[in-house]
Amino acid sequence: MNIILNNTLTSLPDEVRTLENLIKWKNIPTSATAIAINGKIANLSKASITHLQPQDSVMVITAAFGG
């Protein structure tokens, strides 16, 4: 299945079907991170039941600290 991840067409492995799978696969930190699917902020506490669909647009934003 293909999704758009941070504006890049990304082919997901067969085992990546939920937001939780995507977070683990891409090693996305869950603290100080916001994820939107098709323009709506995803509830990370429901990542295991948030299913991804072909051509979903997923935006991951992680806060960076420093100066």
Whether residue 67 lies inside any domain: the answer is no
Distance CA 60, CA 29 (A): 10
* CB-CB contact of 56 with 65 (8 Å): no
**Structural domain containing residue 26:** 2-62
Q: CA angle at residue 8 from 37 to 53, to 5 degrees?
A: 40
- Count of alpha carbons within 13 angstroms of residue 27, beta-carbon side: 0
- Name the CA radius of gyration of the chain, rounded: 12
Q: List pLDDT tens digits, range 14-46.
A: 999 999 999 999 999 989 999 999 999 999 999
Give the domain CATH number at 42: 3.10.20.30
pTM (whole model) above 0.85: yes
Whether residue 37 lies inside any domain: the answer is yes
